[in-house]
Amino acid sequence: MKVTVFGIGYVGLVQAAVLAEVGHEVVCVDVDQNKVDNLEKGIIPIYEPGLTPLVTSNFEQGRVTFTTNAERGVKHGEIIFIAVGTPPDEDGSADLKYVQAVAATIATHMQTHKIIINKSTVPVGTADKVIETVSSTLSKLNKEVTFDVVSNPEFLKEGAAVNDCMRPDRIILGTESKHAEKKLRELYSPFNRNHDKIIVMDVRSAELTKYAANCMLATKISFMNEMANLAELMGADIENVRKGIGSDPRIGYQFIYPGCGYGGSCFPKDVQALVRSATGVGYTAKILEAVEAVNYRQKEKLFDYIMDHYKGDLKGKTIALWGLSFKPNTDDMREASSRVLMEKLWEQGAAVQAYDPEAMEETQRIYGSRSDLKLMGTKEATLSGASCLVICTEWQAFRAPDFNLIKEQVSDAVIFDGRNLFEPSLISEYGLHYYAIGRGMSVKGL
């Protein structure tokens, strides 16, 4: 089938590559000329496992192409995805200007029936707004062309995006159009062979499903972080509590890890956006407000431990930092806990020596060159001259470090672990102090 994807980001690029891989002909349109030029040279703008070979092989075989020419894109696709960003507005609500700009562009160039798909995460009612934009643009241009607008939210996880798109848990289609449903069933049939994963519903329910899913996951994390904070104050160990509650199948083990807060491009903005949407319909979303507030506080947790340990005096200290991306297997730094920590450390006059397996270039892009940030080539290189070690991201490569080396090189022999990677008893055998999230007062300052 002929497909066009507007927006070559985490969602658009992965979806395009996966659709091309099963044989569809995909044109990707972006406003970023540099991104398009790079992709044509085989330079992939993001780190995502398995993505580079998928994009390059499909590009070489002509099944996926990249352009800034919107007219070409609109002409090509009978199915057109909108996969542009929906960042938070000043008040936290989702900013739809990029979605609406694409809707107007599609209307400007379309000559035949199009199925327009909202793949971006958009508030309930956005499909109606897109219909309005397309209709009013068409009528301004005196054009009579039919179209469908479908909500088909994306559930991929960064770090596992290719696999998630290849083997989706579910494919939500928000549409009442039989034509659009038939076409999209055909489009997704290669991903729907094992059992029927397609759930068709009305557009508004589809739009809300995406927010409900992300808000549920964020709620699990903030709930666990609240329990961790209580465990700490009450002398309990959250890791025991986690195992104890996860064993109940109604709760389950997934997504109940305590830590230094959630980040990324989705949970923070989607929780905020649903809170604002709720206000818009006269409802106070109290659980979601609390989820956001708990997370905000949790992102300061490591800094609080560090300040506590050093009695508020960080001036002139060098901190070794492992993990910059908001989670493992991505280079995405949006809303990463590491950023909150680094910025607070810098405010106190401390310097950071950091390492991340994938996110160093992105860190450099965000912060530029500054004397209080050194990006090191290996995790071991961060330790030399550092007072303490802090872990912000649970990359596999950090799970079994050389504790003897840490003890030897880190002058105060202390680890602040925002992801609870180690057993406190093991760390103490190496003569290291260990702070972890919610592991009881006894863990501190062994």
Ligand X SMILES: NC(=O)c1ccc[n+]([C@@H]2O[C@H](COP(=O)([O-])OP(=O)(O)OC[C@H]3O[C@@H](n4cnc5c(N)ncnc54)[C@H](O)[C@@H]3O)[C@@H](O)[C@H]2O)c1
- The catalytic site residues sit at 266
Contact flag: residue 10 with ligand X (CB under 6 A): yes
Nearer to ligand X, 6 or 395 (CB): 6
At closest approach, how far in Å is the CB of 81 from ligand X? 10
Nearer to ligand X, 239 or 270 (CB): 270
At closest approach, how far in Å is the CB of 19 from ligand X? 15
Q: Which of residues 141-170 bind ligand X (CB under 6 A)?
A: 154, 156, 158
Beta bridge pairs of residue 64:
26
- Look at the block and give the residue holding tokens 């643009």: 137
Distance CA 203, CA 154 (A): 14
Beta bridge pairs of residue 351:
318
C-beta of residue 98 within 8 angstroms of C-beta of residue 83: no
Number of residues that bind ligand X (CB under 6 A): 26
At closest approach, how far in Å is the CB of 253 from ligand X? 22
Contact flag: residue 86 with ligand X (CB under 6 A): yes
Nearer to ligand X, 237 or 335 (CB): 335
Distance CA 126, CA 171 (A): 19
List the end-to-end C-alpha distance of the chain, in Å, as a whole number: 62
Sheet (strand 414-417) strand order: 373-375, 351-355, 318-322, 388-391, 414-417, 433-436
At closest approach, how far in Å is the CB of 8 from ligand X? 5
Q: Which of residues 32-71 bind ligand X (CB under 6 A)?
A: 32, 35
Q: Which two tokens stand for residue 296?
A: 């905000």
Amino acid at 45: P
Contact flag: residue 266 with ligand X (CB under 6 A): yes
Going residue by residue from 352 to 381, which x/- string records binding to ligand X, judged by CB under 6 A?
------------------------------
Contact flag: residue 8 with ligand X (CB under 6 A): yes
Comparing every residue's Cβ against ligand X, the nearest one is: 9
- Beta strands 79-82 and 2-6 are parallel
Helix (H, G, I), strand (E, B) or coil at 185: helix
- The region of 24-32, 127-135, 300-308, 410-418 touching ligand X under the rule CB under 6 A is 24-32
C-beta of residue 51 within 8 angstroms of C-beta of residue 14: yes
Contact flag: residue 171 with ligand X (CB under 6 A): no
Contact flag: residue 83 with ligand X (CB under 6 A): yes
Residue among 22, 31, 307, 405 that touches ligand X (CB under 6 A): 31
Who contacts 102 (Cβ-Cβ below 8 Å, separation ≥6)?
A: 6, 7, 82, 84
Q: Which two tokens stand for residue 311?
A: 């009695």
Contact flag: residue 290 with ligand X (CB under 6 A): no
At closest approach, how far in Å is the CB of 261 from ligand X? 17
Instruction: Read off φ and ψ for residue 416, nearest 5 degrees.
Output: -110, 110
Contact flag: residue 11 with ligand X (CB under 6 A): yes
Residue among 84, 314, 376, 421 that touches ligand X (CB under 6 A): 84
Is the C-alpha dihedral spanning 7, 11, 14, 20 positive or negative? Answer: negative
Beta bridge pairs of residue 63:
none
Distance CA 6, CA 28 (A): 6
- The region of 84-92, 125-133, 286-294, 306-314 touching ligand X under the rule CB under 6 A is 84-92
Nearer to ligand X, 203 or 421 (CB): 203
At closest approach, how far in Å is the CB of 38 from ligand X? 11
Helix (H) or strand (E) holding 17: helix 10-21
Nearer to ligand X, 38 or 205 (CB): 38
Residue 241 CB-half CA count within 13 A: 22
In the complex, which residues of this chain contact ligand X (CB under 6 A)?
Answer: 6-12, 29-32, 35, 83-86, 98, 101-102, 120-121, 154, 156, 158, 265-266
